Amino acid sequence: MADRKWVMVVDADRCSGCEACVVACQAENNLPINEEPSFLQHRAFEWIHIERYWEGEFPNVKARFLPLMCQQCGNAPCEPVCPVYATYHNNEGLNVQVYNRCVGTRYCANNCPYQVRFFNWFEAVWPETLKNHLNPDVTVRSRGIMEKCTFCVQRIHRKSRLAKKEGRDLRDGEVSPSCVQACPTDALVFGDVTNKDSKVAKLVEDKRNFHLLEHLGTEPNVIYLKKVDPNARDASGH
Amino acid sequence: MQLSRREFLKLAGVSAAGAALFTACSIPEKELLVQSPARIPEDVLDGDESWYASVCRQCPAGCGIIVRVMEGRAKKIEGNPDYPVNRGKLCARGLAGVQALYHPDRIKGPMRRTGARGSGQWQQITWDQALNDLVGRLKQLRGSAADTVVLAHEPLRGPMSLLVDRFTRTYGSERLAYEPMDQAALRAALKTAFGEDVVPEFDIQNASYVMSFGADFLETWLSPVRYNRHYGEFRQGANRKRGTLVHVEPRFSLEAANADQWVPVRPGTEGVLALSMAYVLMSDGSADARAAASITAGAGARALASFSPERVESVIGVPAARIQELAREFASHQPSIAIGGGSAAAHTNGYTNMLAVYSLNYLVGNVGKRGGVLLNPASPLKDVPATSGATPFSAWQKLVERLRTGQPKPVNLLLVHGANPLYGLPAEVNAGDALGKAQYIVSFSSFMDETTAQADLILPDHTYLESWGGDVPEPGPGHQVVGLQQPVVKALYDTRAFGDVLLTVAEEIGPDMAKALPWRNVREMVRDSVRELHQARRGSVTAAEFEVFWNKALQQGGWWDSNARSSASPTAPIFSKPPALPRYAGSAPEYPYHLVIFPSLSMTDGRGAHLPWLQALPDPISTVVWRTWVEINSKVAKQMGLVEGDIVRVEAPNGKSIEAPVYPHPGVSPEVIGIPAGQGHSSYTNYAAGRGANPLSIIAPLTDAETGGLAWGATRVRVSATGRRMPIPKFEGGAVEARQLPGAPVAPVTRG
Ligand code: SF4
Ligand code: SF4
């Protein structure tokens, strides 16, 4: 089986900032409930969140939205600093977190330039009844563990095993992380970039493409497409 | 599926190969084999999952959902990929539905009040006792001329609307539908503008230019998931030029943020801007002649002379040149659509505002055209309406008066389902006091909301994930659709479906009721109502046997026919009266700011405030969570000496006020104070109660002149510091910025 390379394309020109992706992720991945104090302490968990940037002032004001999640770097700064190899690279281009190895040094979070890793300072608690909707495919992380966006690895595996059972390859679009599945504007697109016919393989060639913090050389597997601003001063419309 | 031992080892081998990519140093292969045998351990076995199709009930849009169920528990809601309204997509509120089902504070069985009203003292009773109580009262009251029974409910459509309508009609009681952020003016204007009962489809995905007058179509307006889908295509769909979005609204909303141009007008003057554009189009001859003639009853541009850009610029706060430019762009970028709603419809001139906005579509000839306004066909089901009219605020005002005075008729029995007027009605109408005088209140709520807390008897309903139902979505996607709702899990508690209760009660009241409502339960009623679809032999599901048809339709989440479209070709409405200017409560010198209330993206008008995911969902613009905030223009805040977290008192001319912390906002107009609706509950579960403030409570009860809808955008306010402060919980600023030392080179990460 040829190695896959999973890529997410984020089209900032499509994203409306509706935040469906945020709840979709929390519902799929058993994220702890972010109570009010966790925000005040800057300890809220959002594997994907919408970063909002202000530009200008009234009346020529703009707010820009950028969905931000683990960039699944091809050259990930979080990996070499982990003393126990809890975070490593798999053969599908994913930056994987092995919860039962993590000892909570938080070196990885410290070294992540995108600030998308989250540390469990406390044991996650749910009221008894809300535990009913926890996803059995995803570990509930305990105190002292680092976590982050996994590209919904459990969904990738479920579909891969199904394809295998049916003796076929995965179809393009068959696997989608929860945020991608929900995103109503199709701002988020996911797929195997080594499949030349896939939607992502075409989108990554778009001339609006860029990486976040490109200069750091982290080679992210999340590729952004620039927001188009027809009123911007430079004539290129970007 | 089970992996054989052999498969298992093979996977382990693949995983070990992955280690070669490790950047720091190579890991001993053995270690991976031992400690991480197959990728991640929890993924080795798949549990069995089933997916059931149903309909979302978190807002009136009625998107199609599929629910993942494992071992009898609902795990996750996703969009139904086949359902024409939302095609696989959902919004944040829809995704949070499982938290309503498994909410720790659900009402778990029927209860009777024991202490004083509102004291929170309840006694659990059996369903037999509860039904005996209700049936006894209904029987006793029936036919006694001076007595009345009133049923208050959420706006209903589809089979449930039929059921409630037959029940109240046959019994002889009244019914009112409640909607806190009243849309009566918008609905009436759409009806006049397009000559139809049902809301049309706005074909945004094929439009070149969209002008939105206050419609929060990317957040909560009408069918937001559908419009978000459209929006994505409108921007970057294949084989098309990128569409241009212009948003007209006094407040800097999510739509304003996404727009290519934002036009902050004075609140309530959106229709004046639309008419001024109409004037420009008519006078330079670019308007569709037939539409121009019909709008002005033959008089032409002259009739609108008082709306020329020069004459209105100071009224609406937009320069004349810009109005002309907007009009020309609207006409030249074809096809174009004008939509309007939200706060623009919530003024004393809301109806005429909306009529003016929607008329623009006729002037560019885009009604019934691709990329314009497409009319929706009528419901495919006889007797089952596709449209859900809410009762305008003025009728609610009358009901409150009646409760208080007993005139002209007392209310002996108030039944409440899916409506929470005590939270939503302005404090000035004093609904709490009036409700206290109602003789007997029965609530069917699943949660202890404000109105239910005042009830005498509670007969808790199932949540929507435990219920049968049907839907004819409004707005539909331009063709006929019927959605089917089915229970995806067994009822968790000792609750009963509201519809089933009504059917049981009807049977016991008398034979005429039993005859009018001949079904044993809601499931049977829904089955019966779709029989005609089976006989029609068209659309997405056809089968010889009804049983097969029914099962297939349930599996798909409903039935639709993409060929069943509207054939109507309406003509532009006549402006019989010149659209009026808005009236505001409060004078400008004393009350310098317009209060612009907006439905919260996550909690809308407050109905989502009980769900922790929605409470914790950052507002996309301010990123605030769990609380109410007050948006004040940053410069104005600075002049007033206010910084983020300073608690201010926002006071309306009627003396009512709320307090909440300031969020200095670079986008909001200096004349405007923006406050989200949704918080400020005194009850409604532990997640909602006692947090934030409810801006709807302070507004003046002004109404739209034509429809009696609540003018919730028409109150002016003043703002004063309280001297207290609180930290605002929000998401922005969470990440520590990685600061670059001046002059220090960036060392790129390199591969070893
Ligand atoms: S769901 Fe899609 S459109 Fe909405 S905020 Fe997320 S990425 Fe943007
Ligand atoms: S818009 Fe959201 S809340 Fe409303 S029906 Fe659709 S998914 Fe449900």
Q: What is the pLDDT of residues B219-242, one digit of tens each?
A: 999 999 999 999 999 999 988 999
Q: Which ligand is nearest to the CA of B65?
A: 2
Residue B4 predicted with pLDDT over 60: no
**Residue B282 in this model has a pLDDT that exceeds 60:** yes
* ipTM score of complex: 0.95
Q: Which of B86, B226, B230 to mutate to test the pocket of ligand 2 (most atoms within 8 A of CB)?
A: B86
The answer to whether the beta carbons of residues B482 and B157 sit under 8 Å apart is no
Alpha helices in B510-581 (DSSP H): 511-516, 522-529, 531-536, 546-556
Residue B739 corresponds to which tokens in the numbers above?
Answer: 């600061």
The total of other beta-carbon atoms located within 10 Å of residue B143's CB is: 10
Averaged pLDDT for residues B242-266: 95
| pLDDT value of position B146 | 64
Parts of chain A with a pLDDT under 70: 1-2, 233-238
Which residues of A fall within a CB distance of 8 Å from B99?
130, 133
- C-alpha B138/C-alpha B440 separation (Å) is 11
Angle, in degrees to the nearest 10, between helices B158-171 and B498-509: 30
| Alpha-carbon span B26 to A18, nearest angstrom | 42
- CB < 8 Å from A in window 225-264 of B: 225, 228-229, 231-233, 235-236, 242, 244, 252, 254, 257-258, 260-262, 264
CA distance B194 to A225: 39
CA angle B501, B504, B510 (to 5 degrees): 135
Regarding the beta carbon of A185 and ligand 1, being less than 6 Å apart is answered: yes
Q: By percentage, how much of chain B surpasses pLDDT 90? A: 82
Radius of gyration of chain B (CA): 28
C-alpha dist (Å) from residue B303 to B357, B390, B572 = 17, 34, 15
CA nearest to A62, candidates B729, B245, B597: B245
For ligand 1, atom 3, the nearest C-alpha belongs to: A15
Residue bearing the bigger pLDDT, B438 or B548:
B548
Residue of B752 and B328 predicted with greater confidence: B328
Give the model confidence (pLDDT) of B544-591 as tens digits: 999 999 999 999 999 999 999 998 888 888 877 777 899 999 999 999
**Surface of A (168-187) touching B: CB under 8 A:** 178, 181-187
Q: Would you state the structure tokens that stand for residue A66, as one six-digit string?
A: 């950028």
Instruction: Give the separation between CA B158 and CA B386, rounded to whole angstroms.
Output: 6
Among B11, B25, B31, B40, the strongest candidate for a mutation testing the A interface, having the largest count of A CBs within 10 A, is B40
Q: Confidence band (pLDDT; 50, 70, 90) for B8?
A: very low
The distance between the two most distant Cα atoms of chain A, rounded to a whole number of Å, is 59
User: What does the pLDDT read at residue B419?
Assistant: 94
Q: For chain B, say whether A238 makes contact (Cβ under 8 Å).
A: no
Q: How many CB contacts within 8 angstroms connect chain A with chain B? A: 284
**Mean local confidence (pLDDT), B660-674:** 95
| B92, B254, B730 ranked by CB distance to A22: nearest | B92
pLDDT, residue B26, reads 43
For B18, the closest of A89, A128, A225 (CB atoms) is A89
Residue B59 CA: which ligand 2 atom is closest? 4
Among B282, B473, B496, CA closest to B387: B473
Chosen for mutation from B228, B248, B263 (greatest number of chain A CBs closer than 10 Å) is B228
- For residue range B469-506, list pLDDT tens digits in order: 999 999 999 999 999 999 999 999 999 999 999 999 99
CA dist., res. B618 & res. B610, Å (int): 15
Average pLDDT score over chain B: 90
| Rounded Cα–Cα distance for residues B401 and B410 (Å) | 10
Dist. CA B607–CA B720, nearest whole Å: 29
Q: Residue B752 pLDDT more than 50? A: no
Question: In B368-497, where does DSSP find H-type helix?
Answer: 393-405, 421-424, 431-437
Please give the backbone phi and psi of residue A10, each rounded to the nearest 5 degrees, phi first.
Answer: -115, 110
Give CA separation, B392 vs B119, B155, B184, B710, in Å: 31, 11, 6, 7
Q: In the structure encoding, which two tokens stand for residue B704, read together?
A: 């739209």
Q: What is the pLDDT of residue B16?
A: 35
Task: Give B444: exposed, middle or buried? Use CB within 10 Å, 0-12, 13-18, 19+.
Answer: buried
Chain B residues in contact with A139 (beta carbon < 8 A): 40, 42
Tens-digit pLDDT profile for residues B131-158: 999 999 999 998 776 678 899 999 999 9
Q: What's phi and psi for B422, nearest 5 deg?
A: -65, -30
The alpha-carbon gap from A94 to the nearest alpha carbon of chain B, in Å, equals 10
Q: Which two tokens mark B264?
A: 């902050």
What predicted TM-score, i.e. pTM, was given to this entire model? 0.92
H-state helical runs in B558-697: 612-615, 634-639, 685-688
Confidence of residue B389 (pLDDT cuts 50, 70, 90): confident
Range B87-101 burial, b when 16+ CB lie within 10 A, else e: bbbbbbbbbbbbbbb
Contact A59 B612 (CB under 8 A): no
Q: What is the pLDDT of residue B735?
A: 60
Closest to B553 (Cα-Cα) out of B55, B135, B74, B153:
B55
The rounded distance, in Å, linking the Cα atoms of A179 and B397 is 44
Whether residue B520 is predicted with pLDDT greater than 90 in this model: the reply is: yes
Which residue has its alpha carbon closest to ligand 1 atom 4? A18
First to last CA, chain B: 40
Q: Are B487 and B526 in contact (CB under 8 A)?
A: no
- Give Cα separations from B366 to B298, B304, B316, B568 (angstroms): 20, 21, 26, 14
Does A41 contact chain B (CB < 8 Å)? no
- Determine contact: B96 vs chain A, CB below 8 A: yes
Partners of residue A90 in chain B, C-beta under 8 Å: 15, 18, 21, 39
**Which of B228, B258, B260 minimises the CB distance to A230?**
B260
* Cβ A44 vs Cβ B731: under 8 Å: yes
Model confidence at B42, pLDDT cuts 50, 70, 90, reads very low
Residue of A nearest to B92 (CA): A20
User: What is the Cα–Cα distance from B376 to B222, expressed in whole angstroms?
Assistant: 14
* Euclidean distance between the first and the last CA atom of chain A, given in angstroms as a whole number: 40
The answer on pLDDT for B30 being more than 80 is: no
Q: Which two tokens stand for residue B415?
A: 């039944």
**Residue B522 forms beta bridges with which residues?**
none
Tokens standing for residue A112: 């992540």
CA distance B443 to B49: 36
Non-local CB neighbours of B576 within 8 Å, separated by 6+ positions? none
Q: What is the pLDDT of residue B331?
A: 96
Question: Among all residues of chain B, which has the CA nearest to that of A216?
Answer: B748
What is the rounded distance in angstroms from the CA atom of residue A68 to the CA atom of residue A87? 20
- Confidence at residue A18, expressed as pLDDT on a 0 to 100 scale: 96
Check residue B745 and give its pLDDT. Answer: 60
Cα(B460)–Cα(A82) distance, rounded to whole angstroms? 53
Q: A199-221 pLDDT, tens per residue?
A: 999 999 999 999 999 888 899 99
DSSP H or E run through B353? helix B350-363
- Mutation site, B219, B258, B266, B627, interface A, largest A CB count within 10 A: B258
Give the range among A50-59, B53-62, B370-379, B622-631 with minimum mean pLDDT: A50-59
Whether B75 sits inside 8 A of A135 (CB atoms) is yes
Between positions 205 and 224 of A, the ones with CB within 8 A of B are 215-218
